[in-house]
Chains A and B, each alone.
Chain A
Amino acid sequence: MPLMVNIQRAVVFAGERGEGLQKTQKLAVFADELLVVAEALPTSLEIIVPAGRPSEVNENLVLKAERRVPVHSLPAAEADLDALIAGATFVTSDLTDRALNERISAAAKRHHVLCNVIDTLDLCDTWFMSLIETDHLIAGLSTKAKATYYVTRLRQELEPQFRRWEAEAAFTSAARELLPRERRLSGLKALWASRWLRWVLRWWGPETALNLAKKRINRGSFKT
């Protein structure tokens, strides 16, 4: 079941494989509150995720401002997993210790927190989708971790097509503001019915199409 979620509080159990760090970089863009539990004894009490493109995996992600993510040590966290996980929206782990991952997953279930344990399908109930994000649209692609390489390839192939969808979304967003509230839906339908307008949008972009739409609306030359 695909969902768009607002992550209020996420907990990352980061092992030595480095995937936990990648998840931290990704979640830094999305989570209101983020906490890392590090398997290796941390040299500092926080991870600094710089502004910009924090993920090497997905160049779409942009972090608008630097984030400082607090780090807890694993032995301390292990002693009271319930206290750490209760109230979180999402928990993820890339630890290799199966028994500990089972305890994390069980604690997540007890507190109805959604859980992803990397490379351990039977302990997961949630998967991140490969992401394409633009100003107006977000797309996610997933095979439930069964073919992640193929999904990454598909994402790269879809990105050019996304530019066209993005132009259409930008046009729609601006055009709806030109129309009176009670005629927005019928007005947008009428604009989209114009083959000439769609052609202008495709080849000249949303600004030119919007100017054309303005003229048509002002002239009253399309029916809503």
Chain B
Amino acid sequence: MSSKVAIPVSLDLTGLRILFVGAGAGTRTKLAALVDQDPMVRIVAPEISSQVQALADKLTDAQVHKRAFVESDLAGVSLVYGMTNDPAVNARLSELCRARGLWSNIAQNRGGLSFSSPAVAKKYGIIATFSSETGQPGAAVKARDDYLKGPR
């Protein structure tokens, strides 16, 4: 049986390290969304943009390595974001994550994707997430925005 449906879960990042491979716009967006939670991160990329470096500087435990990804970068991490523009790096990363059972979100490699980020709303202490199983992030965002506005 192949799992066609993803399930929404809430994850406590305490004690978990997140690896970002690549340090461009994708990493910047994900980091910006996470920075309030002060996660432990490791960022590996030959070039680190100033915005990504600035976000990393806000975190208590950020390891920033300005070099190409190596397999040992996966040691001790629980979640992996592959955000490079290089399909070969993304494919290798995806294979390594699958072999190690690591949760990964690899750009340009939907076959290897094991988690994704839903549209999120926080209201009255409740976290609500909205996502589309048919590749329509816009519909999920619209549902989230409607939810935040309240019932009509």
When the two chains form their complex, are residues B128 and A139 in contact, meaning their CB atoms are under 8 A apart? yes
Cα separation A5 to B13 with both chains bound (whole Å): 15
> B9 to chain A: closest CB distance in Å?
5
Select from chain A the residue with minimum beta-carbon distance to B74: A112
A44 interface residue (CB < 8 Å to B): no
In the complex, chain B residues whose CB is within 8 Å of the CB of A9: 101
When the two chains form their complex, are residues B10 and A144 in contact, meaning their CB atoms are under 8 A apart? yes
1/0 contact trace for B33-76 toward A, CB 8 Å?
A: 01001010000000000000000000000000000000000000
A154 interface residue (CB < 8 Å to B): yes
When the two chains form their complex, are residues B101 and A1 in contact, meaning their CB atoms are under 8 A apart? no
When the two chains form their complex, are residues A125 and B101 in contact, meaning their CB atoms are under 8 A apart? no
> B17 to chain A: closest CB distance in Å?
9
Q: A161 and B116 in contact (CB under 8 A), knowing A137-B132, A140-B129?
A: no
When the two chains form their complex, are residues A4 and B129 in contact, meaning their CB atoms are under 8 A apart? yes
A67 interface residue (CB < 8 Å to B): yes
Cα separation A61 to B106 with both chains bound (whole Å): 28
**Prevailing SS type, chain A contact patch:** mixed
A114 interface residue (CB < 8 Å to B): yes
**Considering the complex, which residues of chain B in the window 1-46 have a beta carbon less than 8 Å from any beta carbon of chain A?**
1-3, 5-16, 34, 37, 39
> B139 to chain A: closest CB distance in Å?
4
In the complex, chain A residues whose CB is within 8 Å of the CB of B2: 32
When the two chains form their complex, are residues B5 and A29 in contact, meaning their CB atoms are under 8 A apart? yes
In the complex, chain A residues whose CB is within 8 Å of the CB of B14: 125
When the two chains form their complex, are residues B7 and A125 in contact, meaning their CB atoms are under 8 A apart? no
- On chain A, the number of residues with a Cβ less than 8 Å from chain B's Cβ atoms is 58
When the two chains form their complex, are residues A125 and B16 in contact, meaning their CB atoms are under 8 A apart? yes
When the two chains form their complex, are residues A6 and B126 in contact, meaning their CB atoms are under 8 A apart? no
Cβ-defined partner of A129 (8 Å) among B10, B101, B140, B142: B10
Contact-size category for B: 35 or more
B84 interface residue (CB < 8 Å to A): no
Stretch touching chain B among A12-20, A72-80, A96-104, A164-172: A164-172
When the two chains form their complex, are residues A30 and B146 in contact, meaning their CB atoms are under 8 A apart? no
When the two chains form their complex, are residues A2 and B9 in contact, meaning their CB atoms are under 8 A apart? yes
When the two chains form their complex, are residues B101 and A111 in contact, meaning their CB atoms are under 8 A apart? yes
When the two chains form their complex, are residues B11 and A114 in contact, meaning their CB atoms are under 8 A apart? yes
Cα separation A157 to B128 with both chains bound (whole Å): 14
Select from chain B the residue with minimum beta-carbon distance to A116: B9
In the complex, chain A residues whose CB is within 8 Å of the CB of B3: 6-8, 30-32
18 contacts between A and B (CB under 8 A): A3-B9, A4-B115, A4-B117, A4-B131, A114-B78, A131-B7, A137-B132, A138-B6, A139-B147, A140-B8, A140-B9, A140-B10, A140-B118, A157-B151, A165-B139, A169-B139, A172-B138, A172-B139
Known A3-B10, A32-B3, A139-B8; further 19 A-B contacts with Cβ < 8 A:
A2-B120, A3-B9, A3-B115, A5-B7, A5-B103, A6-B115, A67-B1, A86-B101, A88-B101, A89-B103, A125-B14, A125-B15, A126-B11, A142-B127, A143-B126, A150-B126, A161-B152, A168-B139, A169-B140
9 shortest interchain CB distances as A-B pairs: A140-B8, A169-B139, A4-B6, A165-B143, A129-B8, A140-B129, A142-B10, A2-B129, A30-B7
> What residues of chain B have their CB less than 8 Å away from a CB belonging to chain A?
1-3, 5-16, 34, 37, 39, 77-78, 100-103, 113-118, 120, 125-134, 136, 138-140, 142-143, 146-147, 151-152
